[in-house]
Amino acid sequence: MKRPAIAFPLIGLLLIACEGPGPADSLSGLPAFTTGPGLVVASASGAAHRIRADELWVLSFTAVRHEDGSASGRAHVDRKDLGIAWDVNVTCMSVVGNTAWIAGIIENGRGPIVRDGTVSYFYVIDNGENAEAPVDIASAVRLNDLAGQDQVFCTDRPLLLTPSPIAHGDIQVRGQ
């Protein structure tokens, strides 16, 4: 079968576009993003599932901290046992070793006690990936806290929220 002559120049352009630094280049093993507020210097992502009162408890999240100190990302919490769920627009994140503190503003709250526009936060601990590693940890998730408490949480990095091993899922913490 004869291929159109235009395919070969396009393949050449794709190869040229793939040369040089790209998303796989890294700082501490993180993608080097050059758009937005600067390089990513820390990241945390994952999912944590537990059973509470015979119902599923779900936390899923992705968060990054940029070199200028800003953070971005999303989190979703679903507490089937309480009949509530909410999303979090990440406003801050702090990483020390294998622990990440993540906080932000509640959006899309569902259920009688969740208030959009208030603060929610949690911390996670990445205990590694090999078969001998302990199970990853996720703290309880605070909701409906006052404005500004997101920044306090990420700055002070408290470990006061009750930590629990996750039943299913995986947590990845990278960076500072």
Domain boundaries, the chain: 34-175
23, burial (CB in 10 Å: exposed 0-12, middle 13-18, buried 19+): exposed
Say what the pLDDT of residue 26 is.
31
- pLDDT tens for 16-49 read 333 333 333 333 333 433 445 679 999 999 999 9
Total-model pTM: 0.78
pLDDT score, position 10: 32
pLDDT at 52: 79
pLDDT bracket for residue 51 (50, 70, 90):
confident
Q: How many CA atoms lie within 13 A of 72 on its CB side?
A: 10
Mean pLDDT of 95-120: 98
pLDDT in tens, 55-92: 889 999 999 999 999 999 999 999 998 999 999 999 99
C-alpha triplet 12, 17, 23: angle, nearest 5°: 145
3-state secondary structure 33-82: CCCCCCCEEEEEEEEEEEEECCEEEEEEEEEEEECCCCEEEEEEEEECCC
CA distance to 89, 91, 104, 168, per residue, from 150 (Å): 11, 7, 6, 27
In sequence order, what are the beta bridge partners of 176?
none
